[in-house]
Chain A
Amino acid sequence: MRSRYLVTRILQAVLVVAITYLLTYWVLFALPGDPVANRLDNPQNPVPPGQAKAILEYYNLDQPALLQFLITVGRLLQGDLGYSLGTGRAVSDMLLQGLGSTLLLALAALVVAAVIATGVGLLAVFAPWGPVRSLARLVPTLSLATPSFLIGLLLLQIFSYQLGWVSSLDTESLTSLLLPALTLGIAASPSITQVLIQGLTEANGRPFVRVLRSRGLSHRAIAARHVVRNGSIPALTLLALTIADLLAGSVIVESVFHRAGLGYVTEQAVRSQDGPIVLAVVLLVSSLYSLVNLATDLLYPVIDPRISITESRLGAGAPASRSAQPALTEGA
């Protein structure tokens, strides 16, 4: 039973990634305004004739669309992501070059987001003083309303230009990671914070809290041993899924801080309508998202003894707790 669930769930994840790839390919290449043709026909930035012929041959533009797609998929399965239309370099090389620095940035931002969400969430629910709770509840709303580029520019203004603590030109050292990670982390935190506040508030109002109080346990002990454990599961799931958002959000942050990572590569690709790179980035991010999603689903029964994997859940997709994700997680 368990292994069948596992297989079904894995197939489902693979299917989602495959459809994502198919749809993205269709949007990028099959719609009128084919970027390859556009790129070759661009009179302002002519492609050298030799390179043009190579591109033409590589993308089989003389073949029917379906065959082109099949050839592309065939190459993908052999690990060939194609070549950039702008630079002619292999897409895999370009992605690999930026991926390291961006993953580091995203992980640092994930830590920032987790710290903010935890701090604000705990204050908003458990602070003994009413006004503090109310203020903490305003924090996610405020950071939700602030675009990440604005957060980045303000941090730059304050810490680089006014205080001079961090150089705005340095993009290599570890300290240079500080402001970008803060920016990205702050931008990603509000939905996680909101879900955590919701979860903790809900858990704090459950009847078992009253019973534990009747046993003589202090508010602090009940919060630490019971409420946090019960109330943080949806927020943890969301935190894990945020990693994909962070990769996408790196486009803006790397632009603000002039970092040359995956985000920068993506930004340039969009600017020059470089289809193969955009397609590869979508494939990468969507795979990561589906992988994390799969992992959290499979980890649920470990965290929550009530969820056992049974046949009846096969068609049901993700556990119910997943629905706590708010609508506005994508905003930059």
Chain B
Amino acid sequence: MTSILSPATPASRRTPPRAPRGLASHGSASLGIVDIAAMLLLALLVIAVLAPALLAPGDPLGTATAQALEGPSLTHWLGTDYLGRDVYTRIVHGARTSLSASAVAVAVGLAGGLALGIVSGYLGGWVDAVVSRLIDVLLSVPGLLLSMVIIVALGFGAINAAIAVGISSIASFARVTRAEVLTVRTSSYVEAAQHQGSSRPRTLIHHILPNAVGPVASLIPLQFGGSIVWISSLSFLGFGAVPPHPEWGLLVAEGRQYLLSAPWLLLAPGAVIVITVLAASHLQGVLGRLRRTTA
């Protein structure tokens, strides 16, 4: 019992004030360097989608067999593929297919999820029971498999893959929306509003939706990143975008034959996918911080 105060314990000499934690301890809403880098990258990607020629004036489909499988150089920053096409140009032009497909997927998932979630969370009762079972059903089939089922029905192609991924993500959006709507609907302030005589539609529009939609909206960046990964996986399998049109997953698929001889064919588009998704999920964190400091 008294040994704790023996002078031999070096720990006891430690000064009480502890050093600041560093990395993890910045909780303020100010933007850090990583935040800015992520947003810059996303801005570049938006340009790549809207006007790819600004970033890469070359022809993404222009072949030059004489320059096939060249390594990265000043003329071809990321090398060339087996037909001599410039990999950088193809990645920039591929952004349009990859990112707009992901946007479609998120839009489909969000629209379906919001509709189901709001209806089931707000109406409750048997409607909620039916919708909840439907969500269970959608969740019981893994997303990749579900999107493949839909692709079998719709046929191959980038847009069909996007729709398939969107439908597969309805369940997660619906579940979050339902939970949020349910929480808000049973909250004291909604009860209080109705006690003030606020009609059901007015309460829905003025109180429930504004409070419930925020957390659902903050899922969008993450889901967008997920859709990129997912759509590129379908393209990689050959169910999505059709060659020779560039799409990021397809570029990786084309590169896999040259894993040994020309690894840049695989690494460059692969790295772009990873960095884009990281930037999107980082944006999610930034949005979350902003929401916390303003609400």
Contact = CB atoms under 8 A, between A and B. Distances in A.
Direct A–B contact in complex, judged by CB atoms less than 8 Å apart: yes
A51 B277 CA distance: 48
Interface in A136-165: 137, 141-142, 144-150, 153-154, 156-157, 161
Contacts of B259: 153, 156-157, 161
B40 interface: no
Contacts of A323: 175, 179
Interface residues of A, number: 65
Contact of A251 (B176, B225, B237): B237
A271 B129 CA distance: 36
A83 B226 CA distance: 35
Contact of A150 (B219, B239, B274): B274
Contacts of A248: 142-145
Given A282-B141, A331-B230, A267 B252 contact: no
B252 A328 contact: no
B152 A249 contact: no
B252 A150 contact: yes
B239 A270 contact: yes
Contact of A331 (B132, B149, B179, B226): B226
Nearest to A246: B142
A137 B270 CA distance: 22
A285 B153 contact: no
Interface in B260-283: 260, 263, 266, 270, 273-275, 277-278, 281
Given A20-B141, A161-B260, A330-B143, A134 B24 contact: yes
Nearest to A142: B278
B223 interface: yes
A161 B277 CA distance: 28
B145 A328 contact: no
Contact of A327 (B154, B223, B236): B223
Given A252-B236, A327-B222, A150 B136 contact: no
A34 to B, nearest CB: 10
Contacts of A249: 142, 144
A241 B117 CA distance: 23
A133 B137 CA distance: 37
Contacts of B153: 27-28, 31, 33
A130 B23 contact: yes
B141 A289 contact: yes
A282 B168 CA distance: 14
Interface in A233-291: 244-245, 247-249, 251-252, 255-256, 266-267, 269-271, 273, 275, 278, 281-282, 285-286, 289-290
Most A CB contacts (10 A, CB to CB) among B150, B153, B278 go to B153
Interface in B221-245: 222-223, 225-226, 229-230, 232-233, 236-239
A328 B222 contact: yes
Contacts of B150: 27
A141 B277 CA distance: 9
A205 interface: no
A202 B36 CA distance: 30
Contact of B21 (A130, A145, A251): A130
Contacts of A15: 133
B172 interface: yes
A245 B141 CA distance: 8
Nearest to A138: B278
B151 interface: yes
B16 interface: no
Interface in A47-103: none
Nearest to B219: A327
A281 B22 CA distance: 50
B144 A252 contact: yes
B270 A150 contact: yes
Nearest to A30: B153
Interface in B137-169: 137, 139-146, 148-155, 168-169
Interface in A5-41: 12, 15-17, 19-20, 23-24, 27-28, 31, 33, 35
Given A144-B277, A331-B233, 4 more contacts: A157-B259, A286-B140, A327-B176, A332-B229
Interface of A: 12, 15-17, 19-20, 23-24, 27-28, 31, 33, 35, 130-131, 133-134, 137, 141-142, 144-150, 153-154, 156-157, 161, 244-245, 247-249, 251-252, 255-256, 266-267, 269-271, 273, 275, 278, 281-282, 285-286, 289-290, 293, 315, 317, 323, 327-332
Interface of B: 21-25, 129, 132-134, 136-137, 139-146, 148-155, 168-169, 172-173, 175-176, 179, 219, 222-223, 225-226, 229-230, 232-233, 236-239, 249, 252-253, 256, 259-260, 263, 266, 270, 273-275, 277-278, 281
23 contacts: A15-B133, A16-B140, A27-B153, A33-B153, A130-B24, A134-B24, A141-B278, A145-B273, A145-B281, A146-B270, A146-B277, A147-B232, A150-B274, A153-B259, A153-B266, A157-B266, A248-B145, A281-B145, A282-B149, A289-B139, A323-B179, A327-B169, A328-B225
- Which 3 interchain pairs have the tightest Cβ spacing? A330-B143, A248-B142, A145-B277
